[in-house]
Amino acid sequence: MDKIRVKNCKVIKLPIIQDGKDGCLSVAESFHNIPFKIKRVYYIYNINNKNAIRGMHAHKKLQQVIFCINGSFFLRLNDGTKKQDIILDEPNIGIYIGVELWHTMKRFSEDCILLVFASDFYDESDYIRNYSQFIKYLEHKNDFI
């Protein structure tokens, strides 16, 4: 995987425990390989529309780690200055998506399953769902500190 060039983002690699003929096991633990306390877990699957585009938002406070535990998909990251495209297709390799990072997911394989660990419960007010508002937020976030 290429080096991460956008802010508030890094590669997370879970260990693979080989269990012989019985398969593999990977473990994610809060504050060990996941850099926050996990408060929410969700997964996305049965993406039957081959032209589906998901994400298209950023968060003010929420942190996430996203894995593709089956199949593959294309992740586009944008910190307002730099953009980076990543293909996720290994079940033990995830991407930490920190605050203020616009992300879009597309090109899902038919068998794609995404698994996401989140640092907080769902809160609609934490979402920035309009790209131009995201850029304005980044430009003016320090005006009120």
Residues labelled catalytic: 57
Report residue 83 as tokens. Answer: 């953009």
- Most distant CA atoms of the chain, gap in Å: 58
Residue 127, SS3 per DSSP: strand
Report residue 2 as tokens. Answer: 């290429």
Amino acid (one-letter) located at 51: N
- Tokens 């790209």 locate to 131
Give the DSSP per-residue string, 45-90: -----TT-EEEEEEESS--EEEEEEES-EEEEEE-SS-EEEEEE--
